[in-house]
Amino acid sequence: MSSFSVRVVLHNSNDYANVHADMESVGFSRTITADSGVVYHLPNGEYIVQDVDWTIHQIHSEVLAVVQQHSAAVSIFVTQWADAGVRFSGLTPVRPQLRALAWR
Residues with Cβ within 8 Å of 36's Cβ and at least 6 positions away in sequence, in order, are none
- CATH code of residue 71: 3.30.70.2360
Instruction: Please indicate, yes or no, if residue 88 is contained in any of the structural domains.
Output: no
Number of domains the chain is built from: 1
**84, pLDDT greater than 80:** no
d(CA 50, CA 80) in angstroms, rounded, equals 10
Instruction: Please indicate, yes or no, if residue 96 is contained in any of the structural domains.
Output: no
pLDDT of residue 21: 96
| Confidence class for position 100, pLDDT limits 50, 70, 90 | very low
pLDDT of residue 96: 63
Instruction: Please indicate, yes or no, if residue 45 is contained in any of the structural domains.
Output: yes
Q: Which amino acid is at 61?
A: S
Q: What is the mean pLDDT of residues 96-102?
A: 51
pLDDT of residue 8: 97
**104, pLDDT greater than 70:** no
Instruction: Please indicate, yes or no, if residue 65 is contained in any of the structural domains.
Output: yes
Write the pLDDT tens digit of every residue in 15-73: 899 999 999 999 999 999 998 889 999 999 999 999 999 999 999 999 999 999 998 89
Domain that holds residue 77: 2-81
